[in-house]
A and B are shown apart, each in its own frame.
Chain A
């Protein structure tokens, strides 16, 4: 049975662990803590306990997982990966009956395997769609990553981004003055392109919308934020960015509840301070899932309406508040359903409706919608040391895109937009990757 070349994410630095209030453990301490944390998670989450028990090892999930199909490693199949936890669970519960109270050791090699393979899962949840029993293997990955974090095992890439989030409110570590500079630069670009004073406002109190983009929109995906600025300008909607938080992404979802909570509260606080009426999420898949699943609970009584920029655009198109000219997007376009936007966040029909309005030649790729393959970069796997693994994980998506024979691959998610160009190049698929707001921005009449 083949195994992926042992590429292990670089472990986080002690300083970052301390910053995130996570422990730095010696090997022996780690073994004892693993059993304690495992028991704790079992007692907290019925679904986790259930998924440990129910699998019948039928193997129905194996050849539907892009991770297994790309790497050929059984430990990268949904059931194989979940079994890394299940084997420990069986030992834990059989020592002294099933009361979950007995001590059970864990081997260092076992923990190393958890770290390697639970950080090769994109948490895309495709396997949950095909399991005859309905096991959500991504949930097992999430729990195991939480345990690993409490054992002081977090990839350096993820902890670094989490630290940026705490310090600056965005993944890139953009400071307020730099944000102002970039917004002004992009306004200048818009002026040159359209001849109109289209604003990208920052900290505008009383605006109707607090728009929360991906911070990569200010570096690599500038057409995305400029497209959004054009749409709001055309519709006459007042909007603003907040220098406190310009990041829909929330890496806390990938490993650490307190980080998730902190970033979500920061968003709620920024909205309260700017007295906006609603929150609009930018193109970030897992960020949208975090909003959809957790923002309400975290905001509590003060919860504001939450929408996605795709929903906003669809509403404006439906009501005739913006006009578009699809003839500017003449090349064939195919649509990639980001896992967290579609399967995880329920946005499946809406992006297609918008896309069909703004491009002339839309082509579905297959499989699509809730069965779409992951790009291979999701759930914090965009780390440099994982380049080779990520290219393997993206193989099935590359096959889908190749078969669609499109010139443009529309992917409304910052992680997908970072991962897919490299995957397409690696697998020799000639296609240009764009966000949906990019294409809307080209087509909207301002």
Chain B
């Protein structure tokens, strides 16, 4: 089963490299206008303070969704750590406390994923937007975190976990899950553009921004 997983990982890597190469082939218009702020400061902001819950109107207004999203993504990272531990046969040497923390995080992430799936069905706007890929992607990742959480509690689950992860990895390059790779580009563009224009880092709070 581990070999299947290895092949899946190679497929995922090759797919992502191909997509990255396609993107790199596209042209970029140079910025020739005189700066009003600093693109560098904007980029730093976009990857630091700009990610905090208070920095955006959307996260201020939907704080619950923000923290569910953070927990979901944290759980994905933990699930990959659990996968690595299993592949290296280090899972049994993991201290009990850490095992509980990892397992709980992954399972809580799975709950957040299930909540996100439910929202796509229940919320009229999200239902309108959602494509088949949105459902499949969230379903696969939610299952991944769920199985990662369970595998530490019940080792026989590992075969299912490997199989599920293999499917997830093969699907990854053609799905919206690949946004994990593009995220760095878009945040970079956002920071560079708005930093250059002097819009970010924001000075709004000096004026008592209310919303």
Interface residues, chain A, with chain B CB atoms under 8 Å away:
1, 42-51, 53-64, 74, 77, 79-80, 83, 98-100, 128-136, 292-297, 306, 342-346, 348-349, 352, 364, 366-371
Contact = CB atoms under 8 A, between A and B. Distances in A.
B183 interface: yes
A371 B46 contact: no
Contacts of A364: 207-208
Contacts of A133: 179, 182-183, 186-187
B4 to A, nearest CB: 24
B127 to A, nearest CB: 9
8 contacts: A53-B182, A61-B58, A129-B57, A136-B193, A297-B33, A346-B199, A366-B210, A369-B203
Given A56-B176, A57-B130, A370-B202, A292 B36 contact: yes
Contact of A44 (B27, B58, B178): B27
Interface stretch (B15-23, B82-90, B153-161, B162-170): B15-23
A93 B46 CA distance: 30
B185 interface: yes
A80 B23 CA distance: 23
B186 A51 contact: yes
B198 A98 contact: no
A78 B34 CA distance: 29
Given A59-B129, A132-B58, A50 B187 contact: no
A371 B210 CA distance: 10
B100 interface: no
B186 A50 contact: yes
B27 to A, nearest CB: 5
Given A45-B26, A49-B26, A369 B187 contact: no
B125 interface: yes
B58 A134 contact: no
In terms of DSSP, what is the predominant structure of the interface of chain B?
helix
B122 interface: no
Interface residues of B, number: 58
The 5 closest A-B pairs by CB, nearest first: A134-B190, A130-B58, A297-B32, A346-B36, A54-B182
B43 to A, nearest CB: 11
Residue of B19, B36, B186, B198 contacting most chain A CB atoms (<10 Å): B186
B204 interface: yes
Given A46-B28, A57-B176, A369-B209, A74 B128 contact: yes
B2 interface: no
Contacts of A55: 176, 179
Nearest to B18: A98
B97 interface: no
B129 A80 contact: yes
Nearest to A291: B33
Interface string B178-202: 1100110111011101100111101
Nearest to B36: A346
B93 interface: no
A343 B202 CA distance: 11
A43 B25 CA distance: 7
B131 interface: yes
A49 B211 contact: no
Nearest to B182: A54
Contacts of B125: 1, 59, 62, 74, 77
A445 B112 CA distance: 63
A128 B190 contact: yes
A50 B185 contact: yes
Contact of B189 (A43, A47, A129, A367): A47
B115 interface: no
B154 to A, nearest CB: 31
A366 B126 CA distance: 27
Nearest to B187: A134
Contacts of A132: 56, 58-59, 69
B129 A74 contact: yes
A132 B208 CA distance: 23
B128 A1 contact: yes
A49 B56 CA distance: 25
A64 B210 contact: no
A294 B32 CA distance: 7
Contacts of A99: 22
B40 interface: no
Given A62-B125, A64-B58, A344-B197, A50 B211 contact: no
Contacts of B197: 292, 344-346
Contacts of B65: 60
Given A43-B27, A293-B33, A370-B200, 9 more contacts: A44-B27, A46-B28, A56-B179, A57-B130, A62-B125, A99-B22, A134-B183, A369-B202, A369-B207
Contacts of A368: 204, 207, 209
